[in-house]
């Protein structure tokens, strides 16, 4: 299938309260967010006509903006409604949903006191992030050279666009070397997360996953923890050192895009997708299609 640039597609984008034709959804080159990274976003999935955990995503969008010291001029309920309306306007019932809030072009300065907040929502078809057969076998990751920042130096709890630059560099480098993704450490050297997904490990029938002091508290991560506990699986939230990966038998990533994706390799460490990883992958798939 031919690649179609995202600025040259048919359809509609919700922007600042109105629908505009897809190709006309533009902002100026001197927009504050482009120069200073003052932008937050969400990644959501609609399955069979329902956006999975829509309100938690909209609530996190508001929290992310607050961490960057700006206020979204639409309520959580209004963002929820706009996401649903955009999917309906595009005629999609299985798609990816991208709300984004950013500071506009009123002033180009480090100071943003005069900049208004813009909000847009776009949706598009997006199949599985990783090939289904590859997922079952487990994807390969390398170690990223960049680390998740100390919360004292960056708003790491925010889903802020600027924080993803190191993710882009890490994932691009990994793909250039034949890997699917990269695993990042935090500023202290503990295992953190992949470039756009949280990570879980299996040891003696229990799940181990890093705490949220240096990672984004993923909504899929929260969901998988709920699914595991409902099945009686112990979930251990703790700091994990890289050398401990030799003691784990299974590994998988979680995220809106990744869903639940088994991992077969992280650098020098190997894992075999097993009953726990594959079972949770299936459980999550059933949950998002059922929508309660």
Q: What are the sequence ranges of the domains in the chain? A: 12-124, 132-290
Q: Does 159 qualify as catalytic in the annotation?
A: yes
Same fold, 12-124 and 132-290: no
Which conformational region is residue 267 in: left (phi greater than 0), alpha (psi within -120 to 50 degrees), or beta? Answer: left
70-100: burial string, b at 16+ Cβ within 10 Å, e else: bebebebeebbebbbebbeebebeebbbbbb
**Residue numbers in the chain where pLDDT is lower than 70:** 1-2, 128-132, 291-292
Among 53, 84, 135, 159, which one carries the catalytic annotation? 159
Task: Supply the pLDDT for residue 2.
Answer: 61
Identify the CA nearest to 18 among candidates 82, 68, 69, 90: 82
Q: Classify 132-290 by CATH class.
A: alpha beta
CATH number for the segment(s) 12-124: 3.30.470.10
Task: Supply the pLDDT for residue 135.
Answer: 77
């Amino acid at each position: 299938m031919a690649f179609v640039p995202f600025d040259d597609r048919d359809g509609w984008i919700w922007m600042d309260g109105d629908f505009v034709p897809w190709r006309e959804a533009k902002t100026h080159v001197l927009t504050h967010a482009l120069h200073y990274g003052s932008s937050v976003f969400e990644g959501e999935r609609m399955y069979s006509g329902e956006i999975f955990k829509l309100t938690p995503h909209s609530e996190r969008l508001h929290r992310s903006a607050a961490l960057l010291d700006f206020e979204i001029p639409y309520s959580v309920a209004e963002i929820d409604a706009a996401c649903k309306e955009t999917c309906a306007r595009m005629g999609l019932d299985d798609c990816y949903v991208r709300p984004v809030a950013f500071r506009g072009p009123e002033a180009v300065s480090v100071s943003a006191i005069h900049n208004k907040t813009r909000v847009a929502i776009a949706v598009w078809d997006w199949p599985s992030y990783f090939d289904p057969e590859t997922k079952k076998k487990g994807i390969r990751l390398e170690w990223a050279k960049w680390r998740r920042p100390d919360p004292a130096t960056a708003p790491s709890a925010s889903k802020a666009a600027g924080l993803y630059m190191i993710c882009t560099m890490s994932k691009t480098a990994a793909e250039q070397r034949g890997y699917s993704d990269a695993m990042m450490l935090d500023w202290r050297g503990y295992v953190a997360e992949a470039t756009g997904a949280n990570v879980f490990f299996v040891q003696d029938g229990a799940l181990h996953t890093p705490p949220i002091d240096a990672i984004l508290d993923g909504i899929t991560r929260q969901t998988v923890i709920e699914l595991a506990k409902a099945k009686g699986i112990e979930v251990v939230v703790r700091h994990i050192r890289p050398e401990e990966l030799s003691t784990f038998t299974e590994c998988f990533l979680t995220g809106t895009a990744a869903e639940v994706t088994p991992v077969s390799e992280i650098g020098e460490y190997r894992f075999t997708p097993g009953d726990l990883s594959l079972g949770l992958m299936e459980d999550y798939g059933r949950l998002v299609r059922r929508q309660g």
